[in-house]
Amino acid sequence: MMIAIDFDGTIVEHAYPEIGKPIPFAIDTLLQMQKDGHKLILWTVRRGQLLQEAIDYCAGRGLYFYAENENYRGEVKEKKGEVSRKLKTDLFIDDCNLGGLPDWGVIYNAVKTTANGGNALHLLAGQSAMPEPKKKKRWLF
């Protein structure tokens, strides 16, 4: 599968424009996805030097992408910058998904299930790694 992955809040914690602390198991899981034959695209708001810092961060951990902010490496240059920002991917992994970012183990199992033709929605239901908001106390009188 072709999979687009966000950087800030997904691979590392939010600290934009700085690079945040690593999110546990993100890089390891993405490396395993590559070993499983998936093509990964870094899909981020970062551009220019900030994008290069994210690329270098991942490369320093052994993670190299099929492309960054384009469908394939060289697309923007080939099409003289006239490309759609819409990616042709099978899946997006992003902390802004409905329900937040699930645990990377859940993400891996969902990708594996989807790649094998299954429906992974049941794996993702209620699996957000984001903390639950504190419930307000309600007083009954």
pLDDT (tens digit, 9 = 90+) per residue, 28-78?
999 999 999 999 999 999 999 999 999 999 999 999 999 999 888 887 777
Is there a domain that residue 8 lies in?
yes
Domains identified in the chain, total number:
1
For residue 74, the domain's CATH number is: 3.40.50.1000
CA–CA distance, 33 with 132 (Å, rounded to integer)? 28
Angle at 16 between CA 10 and CA 18, to 5 degrees: 105
pLDDT interval class at 19 (50, 70, 90): very high
Range of the domain at 38: 2-96
User: For the segment 102-114, what is each residue's pLDDT rounded down to a tens digit?
Assistant: 889 988 988 998 8
Q: What is the pTM of this model?
A: 0.80
In this structure, what token pair is assigned to residue 39? Answer: 């093509």
Is there a domain that residue 69 lies in?
yes
